[in-house]
Amino acid sequence: MLRSFARSFSSTVVKRDFARTQLLGTVGNFEFRESENGTKYVTYSLAVNRYNKETQEQVTNWYRIAAFTQLERLEKSLRVGNVLHVDANLAVRKVEDPETHKVRSELQLIQKNFDVARFGKKDGEEASP
């Protein structure tokens, strides 16, 4: 006799698929902007360091993140040198090079949430030993 199977681990409805990542890194440049239709947002770069065992060197990867929510909190928290823990959605968009007209794929990171893991030094302040 055939039986129908139910999800045994949850009684909630299945949600749509998603792609998400978490980053822990140091804030680089940032810029608060407004789109043509009046939407306010901020873009910032985040440096994530990792150790390469083969070369025995530290490697830095830079990520560009866009945020459309929590702007007031970001305005107070975004400082060059601060370490952030960022939860972001991933999206791929097609971008056409204006000179070559070649289309390439670009990975977008859209911030959903963040926490300040460590505050960097303030302007004019020397790094602590």
List, in order of start, the domains of the chain with CATH numbers: 20-118 (2.40.50.140)
Percentage helix, strand, coil, to 5, in the chain? 5, 55, 40
Instruction: Give all strands (DSSP E) within 35-82, no chain letters.
Output: 40-52, 57-67
Give the Å distances, CA to CA, from 64 to 7, 13, 47, 73, 80: 38, 33, 9, 19, 14
- Residue 60: phi, psi to the nearest 5? -110, 125
pLDDT, tens digit only, all 129 positions of the chain: 555 555 555 566 666 777 899 999 999 999 999 999 999 999 999 999 999 889 889 999 999 999 999 999 999 989 999 999 999 999 998 989 889 999 999 889 999 999 999 988 766 555 444
Residue with tokens 């830079």: 62
DSSP strand pairing (57-67 vs 103-118): parallel
